[in-house]
Amino acid sequence: MAWNPISGTMPQYLDSNGDPYSGAVLKAYSAGTTTNITMAIDSTGASEQTTIALDAAGYPEVSGNNVIPHIQETYKLSLYPTQAAADSDTGALWTQDDMTVSASGSGGEVLAVTGGITMDDTYEGDTLSITNSPTITLPAVATVGEGFVFFFRNAGTGTVTFDGSGSETINGSATVTCSAGAAGRFISSATAWVAEGVKEAQLDKDNTFTQTGAASAQTFKSDVATDTNVVAQLDFSGEDDGGNTTIYTRAQMVQS
């Protein structure tokens, strides 16, 4: 049988706070069983692994290289918090059963999405190529069932918002956002959505926001100082009536 990828893009695994699940461990089983099956690192079946740990950014890593796990059959996939938990098959963070793979990693179409949509079960296996910062409302997991999967990439320059149906959550939150360049997939569990690859929109260096007042303007600016130990700096400043700039306070994040 062929070795096929579990994802069409490099999967990233996040915790309920949206942070990378550093040190967590993937383990695959034959569908509907507790029989461990191996995962390869490419379509040739190279370097078969019984488990694959995540790096500090939440990506699967083997021998220092990020990989997309490849599997030969319908499978069950679990994510464990530690290697010890994976070895003992206890305390899985989540488990997805009856997962299928195809040569493309998705098996659906690539769809251009330029505005807000409400998804339904016809999107299964599709890849959404999203621009223009829309809100994407996910289908109800009660309707699509456990194991429904679709893929996405933010092909624009803005922020895309994914919204769960009704009170359903995504990684434990009502909504998640992904910034430009983010890509990954969504998988339905029995009651909620698991999102892989989303990342929050972040404040870049030298972003400036101005608020005008009766006689002055306030500026909020993120900047990295010249001191190499300072990894982030936030200045709160304003202008007096004469146009002179005064820094009222400065907050810094310092690398020890």
Residue spans per domain, the chain? 1-104, 106-202, 208-254
Specify the 3-state DSSP secondary structure of 117. Answer: strand
Which residues are registered as beta bridge partners of 14? 20
Res. 178: pLDDT tops 50: yes
21 DSSP assignment? -
Mean of pLDDT over the chain: 79
Backbone angles phi, psi at 166, to 5 degrees: 55, -125
pLDDT of residue 144: 87
Q: What's the rounded mean pLDDT across residues 82-91?
A: 95
pLDDT of residue 225: 45
Options 3.30.300, 2.60.120, 3.30.2000, 2.60.40; which CATH number does 106-202 get? Answer: 2.60.120
Asked whether the beta carbons of 249 and 236 are under 8 A apart, the reply is: yes
61 DSSP assignment? E
Q: What's the rounded mean pLDDT across residues 88-104?
A: 80
What proportion of the chain, given as a percentage, has pLDDT over 70? Answer: 73
CATH 3.30.70.250 fits 1-104, yes or no: no
Assign 108 a pLDDT band (cuts: 50, 70, 90).
low
Res. 54: pLDDT tops 90: yes
- CA neighbor of 49 nearest in space, from 39, 64, 41: 39
Place of tokens 């079946």: 45
pLDDT of residue 233: 56
Asked whether the beta carbons of 36 and 50 are under 8 A apart, the reply is: yes
pLDDT of residue 88: 95
Q: What burial class does residue 13 get, using C-beta atoms within 10 Å of its C-beta: 0-12 exposed, 13-18 middle, 19+ buried? A: buried
The tokens describing 154, both together, are 């933010």
Res. 171: pLDDT tops 80: yes
